[in-house]
Every structure is written in structure tokens, then in C-alpha cells.
Amino acid sequence: MKRRILSGMRPTGSLHIGHLSVLQNWVVLQDEYECYFSIVDWHALTTGYEDKLDLKALSKEIALDWLSVGIDPQKSAVFIQSQVKEHAELHLLFSMFTPMSWLERVPTYKDQIQQLGEDGKDLHTYGFLGYPLLQAADILVYKASAVPVGEDQVPHIELSREIARRFNYLYSGVFPEPQALIGKVPLLPGVDGRKMSKSYNNAISLTASTDEIGFRVKQMITDPQRIRKDDPGHPEVCVVSKFHKIYSPDIDRIERDCKAGKIGCVACKKYLAENIDKVLAPYRERRKLWQEEGKVESVLQEGTEKARATASDTMNEVRKVMGLYGSR
């Protein structure tokens, strides 16, 4: 039997090419594992409870992004967290035996209260303290043995392992201890050199057209000391170069020509835009197919059913070993 994977993303807005490496990694994992990919709308509420988010629209949008990059509903269950109530039930049961100190100790907890507090968000809430525990329930309700995540999520996976261990010790050995599969996420800056983010208006969207890609690449900050095209360039301070590293197989040649003043910024940018377009074009095409009326809805419906079936088996075992009534 294939090992299981669970991963999730918050539906906070349509994705940009900074998110691409994570998704491309998921696409590859689909062949090796039984995959569950969850749009974690409850998680979005843990920090965005005041924001009046249209989570339904945002969730559909992110599902479309996933499908256009190649998440394949024949292979993977794609579903919305809040449609599978077992996540909430397991979270509640876990909360009974989770020491407060374990949650307070999660490294992101105090940082985020502070950081988002500066943006005017009050995160001294029960839901925010408990969010890593909700994440543990997301993972363990599928008995996932591996969780593809970025480096920043490692403490959360560690907590999930501790929760699995504590449950197995207190009741019975129901849960495997999940492992983090840490994806290498190259940190791509936005076109202005700051962190890439939709809200800074410096991102290249996954849906960008050929023209939009060209426009964004033209905006990229290059070596400020390079004035004439045959001045020697410094790729290490150039945003364009960071993108070439990912999108251009002949990066070594480009860097050499740049340093020797043999290729000008205009030509260099044009070449990058073409290479980015080569990657995004097939995604745009696939997106059109999934955009037909009702298609995303039916993927989510099927994914939910598959997720529920697995989660409800786990919950029956959990209720039993905790001495509760079985299935409803």
C-alpha cells in the first residue's frame, strides 16, 4: 500500500510564481504517495477572523491554481478542510490532553502575536493558540506518514509527532508519527527586490499572460552600477539573475556574459521573460480546461468524499480507544 501524504495551504489569495516550487513538488509526489491536499479555510480564520474574507471564492480560486499546475484529482484528493468535520472533532479530542505549555512553546506563536499585532491584529485568542494542534489533527486524521512543507513549518510537524506519541501512549497505538518532507523553496524576491507578495504589487501571478510576464520582468531591479550595456555587471545584486537561476538552464553562460559586459540588461530580461513564459504557458492552457462551469466544484466534491471516508475510519478507531460511542 502507498504511504500517505497530507499537506495544506491557506486560501488567502491567488498564487504567484513564488509558490510554484511547492506545488511542483506536490505534483511529483502524487505518483509515489496517496495524497490528500487540503485548502485549510479554518486556518485562514485563526489569523483573519476580522477580515470578512470570502473564503468560498478564495478556496475555489486556489483549487483552480493547484489544478492548473498539475495536481491531478485522479491521483489526489483535493478538498476544503471545513467540509470534513472530522478535523474539528479530532482537534477537540487532542485538546483534552495537550499541555498549554506545548502550544505556548511553538516558536512562531509569540513572534506572530507580536508581528501581526503591529498590523493591528489581536491574536490573543484561543483559536490562534490552538492552531498548531488543528494542524496536527489535519495530518493525523489521515494517518499521514509524510508532510511536504517548507522549513518554517518544521516545528509544527514536530508538535504533530509529539501529539501522536502522547495519544498512542495514553490510549492505543493509532497514529504513525508523521515526517516532514522539507522542500527546497528558493526564495524569489518580487520585481522590486522586496519579498514577493500580491499586496506589494511586485509579484508575477501564476496566471500572468506573455505580455504581463514581459512587463513584470522589465520592472525587475538590475545592477545600479551598470549604466552602459557593455559595463561589467554584478549578477549577485541583480533580481533578474535570481530568476535566471531557476528558469534558465544556461545560467552560467548568462552570468559570465553579464560580468564581461557582453549581454545587456534588455536582452537578458527578454530571454528571462521567454523562459518564464515557457513554464507558465502550459499552466494557462490547463487552467482554461478546469475553468469550465462546475468542474472545480466537482473535483472538490469528490475530494471531500474521499477525505471523509479516510477520516471517518480513523475517527471510529479514535472514539473506540477513548471509550466513546462509535460512529453516529
Question: Where along the sequence are the contacts to ligand TRP (CB under 6 A)?
Answer: 6-8, 10, 40, 43, 135, 138-139, 147, 149, 153
Which residue, 98 or 135, has its beta carbon nearer to ligand TRP?
135
Run of H or E residues at 253: helix 251-259
Instruction: Tell the residue number behind the cell numbers 553579464, with chain if given.
Output: 258
Whole-angstrom Cα distance, residue 149 to residue 26? 10
Closest approach of ligand TRP to the CB of residue 20, in Å: 16
Closest approach of ligand TRP to the CB of residue 135, in Å: 4
Whole-angstrom Cα distance, residue 53 to residue 41? 10
- Sign of the four-CA dihedral 256, 258, 261, 266: positive
Which residue, 7 or 98, has its beta carbon nearer to ligand TRP?
7
Closest approach of ligand TRP to the CB of residue 173, in Å: 22
Task: Provide the 10 A C-beta neighbour count for residue 290.
Answer: 16
Closest approach of ligand TRP to the CB of residue 43, in Å: 5
Q: Which three cell numbers stand for residue 137?
A: 489533527
Closest approach of ligand TRP to the CB of residue 204, in Å: 21
Distances (CA, A) of 236 to 60, 221, 259: 39, 12, 10
Which residue, 138 or 223, has its beta carbon nearer to ligand TRP?
138
DSSP 3-state percent helix, strand, coil across the chain (nearest 5): 60, 10, 35
Which residue, 165 or 253, has its beta carbon nearer to ligand TRP?
165
Say if CB 285 and CB 257 are below 8 A apart.
no
Closest approach of ligand TRP to the CB of residue 265, in Å: 35
Say if CB 290 and CB 61 are below 8 A apart.
no
Which residue, 20 or 149, has its beta carbon nearer to ligand TRP?
149
Closest approach of ligand TRP to the CB of residue 59, in Å: 13
Which residue, 155 or 214, has its beta carbon nearer to ligand TRP?
155
Count how many residues are written for the chain.
328
Which residue, 131 or 283, has its beta carbon nearer to ligand TRP?
131
Which residue, 7 or 222, has its beta carbon nearer to ligand TRP?
7
Cα–Cα nearest to 221, from 201, 244, 245, 192: 192
Residue nearest to ligand TRP (CB): 8
Cα–Cα nearest to 303, from 42, 136, 59: 59
Which residue, 145 or 210, has its beta carbon nearer to ligand TRP?
145
The set of residues, in sequence order, having a beta carbon less than 8 Å from that of 184 and lying 6+ positions away, is 21
Residue 87 burial by Cβ neighbours in a 10 Å radius (0-12, 13-18, 19+): buried
Say if CB 55 and CB 49 are below 8 A apart.
no
Closest approach of ligand TRP to the CB of residue 60, in Å: 18
Q: Which three cell numbers stand for residue 297?
A: 466544484
Closest approach of ligand TRP to the CB of residue 203, in Å: 17
